[in-house]
Amino acid sequence: MIIFRYLSREVLISTTAVTAVLLLIITSARLIKYLTEAATGKLDADFVLLVLAYRIPGFLELLLPLGLFLGILLGFGRLYLESEMVVLRACGVSHKRLVVYALGPAVLISAIVAGISLMVAPWGVGEAKTIFAQQDARSELELLTPGRFQSQSNGRQVTYAQSLDQESSALQEVFIAQRNEDGHPMLLVAQSASQRSIDGQGRFLVLENGYRVDGQPGKADYSITQYGEYGIRLPEAQAADINEIEAVPTLDLFNATGAEERAQLHWRLSLPVLAFIVTLIAVPLSRTNPRQGRFAKLIPSIIIYLLYVTLLTATRSAIEDEKIGVWALWGIHLGFLALAANLIFADRFWEAVFSRLPSLPSFRKRKPDSEVDAETGPENRPEGEA
């Protein structure tokens, strides 16, 4: 039990560290994307961190199996490098028992991945899509950022507001440049603007105390119209329908018959199995010769993992296109399970193969010829050597 706790702690610490680093990289990239959308007015800045938090479970369902795989390689690899595994072998811990010990953290990570992929991740995707749908349903007035010129209506209109009154939600010192019915430029300037809803007519942006300038560039016949109130009809906000397959609850997928629903269901069910199988693959691959270094098998192991995930992703896409059945997804799992069994029970053969892997080259500073001649001079040569 002491050995089991020690090995489990090594694996879980390495898994947590690797997963945290990978999650930090992915969330940083996604945060930059959301901040860019907030800067352009597509997303309210108050929802940036909230949307990012909703998307984190979707990241973890794939990062946790990878973190477990690399955690076993790094954790067990350190034990081999520092000859702790030699001591464990001398105490009667066989290679197969080491695999059994590694299944403890694997069961824990698989259970976490199952909970995330089956329940938490779909809920998070649905909440994030709801926020984006609400943002898309905002009117152009609500998208305005005070103090900035913003292009609207697919570039046909430019709007500027100097400030926003928080109490009345009215924009102050508004400038709008657009084209009239004849295609000629039209300028609207107002001291304030607010949104109003008129029964039976819809929503309007009402400009107060301003003037309108109409004319054609190159000609002097401009007309200036002063007004007390000027209304501009706003398009009706229509909330987008949340129909993303990733946001559908798992229980609803069991009753669905479509190809996309079946592919999504079996994909969610296969992620905990992925975490379990990569553990069986990682344990034999973690055996390292101290002469080769700790990272000798890291690149071949990562290639195997990437091949595994790539095949699963490609098979999922093929199932969605109704090219193959869901049996192909589980066939890939069986194939890599057979690979893991081969690595475990034919360990002597694979150990001989991996022992032939070239070690990392070492670069030493070349000594000057004068120092070499001095070291190999007559006084430094063995007796009897000319």
Question: How much is the pLDDT for 151?
Answer: 67
Question: How much is the pLDDT for 22?
Answer: 92
Confidence band for 65, pLDDT divided at 50, 70 and 90: very high
Cα four-point dihedral sign 6, 12, 16, 17? positive
Q: Is the pLDDT of residue 139 over 90?
A: no
Q: Which of 302, 215, 316 is nearest to 265 (CA)?
A: 316
Confidence band for 345, pLDDT divided at 50, 70 and 90: confident
Task: Name which residue leads in pLDDT, 222 or 59.
Answer: 59
d(C-alpha 16, C-alpha 4), whole Å: 18
97 vs 4, 218, 233, CA distance in Å?
10, 88, 74
Confidence band for 109, pLDDT divided at 50, 70 and 90: very high
Q: Is the pLDDT of residue 73 over 60?
A: yes
Q: Which amino acid is it at 238?
A: Q
Confidence band for 113, pLDDT divided at 50, 70 and 90: very high
CA 25 centroid distance within chain: 8
Give the mean pLDDT of 92-102. Answer: 80
Indicate the pTM of the whole model.
0.69
Question: How much is the pLDDT for 179?
Answer: 75
Question: How much is the pLDDT for 376?
Answer: 53
Q: Is the pLDDT of residue 347 over 70?
A: no
Task: Name which residue leads in pLDDT, 203 or 162.
Answer: 162
Express each pLDDT in 265-313 by its tens digit. 899 999 999 999 999 988 888 877 666 656 667 788 888 889 999 999 9
The segment with the largest mean pLDDT, out of 19-28, 244-253, 351-360, is 19-28
CB 262 within 8 A of CB 319: yes
Q: Which of 176, 189, 180 is nearest to 225 (CA)?
A: 189
Give the mean pLDDT of 23-39. Answer: 86
Question: How much is the pLDDT for 242?
Answer: 46
Task: Name which residue leads in pLDDT, 328 or 37.
Answer: 328
Question: How much is the pLDDT for 362?
Answer: 46
- Structure-block tokens of residue 38: 């907030």
Average per-residue pLDDT for the chain: 78
Express each pLDDT in 162-178 by its tens digit. 777 767 677 888 888 87
Confidence band for 253, pLDDT divided at 50, 70 and 90: confident
d(C-alpha 65, C-alpha 277), whole Å: 9
Question: How much is the pLDDT for 16?
Answer: 92
Question: How much is the pLDDT for 184?
Answer: 75
Q: Is the pLDDT of residue 239 over 50?
A: no
- Angle between helix 95-115 and helix 48-81 axes, rounded to 10 deg: 180
Express each pLDDT in 367-376 by its tens digit. 555 554 555 5
Task: Name which residue leads in pLDDT, 202 or 127.
Answer: 127
Question: How much is the pLDDT for 25?
Answer: 92
Question: How much is the pLDDT for 69?
Answer: 92
Q: Is the pLDDT of residue 154 over 70?
A: no
Residues 254-263 as b or e (16 or more Cβ within 10 Å = b): eeeeebbbbb
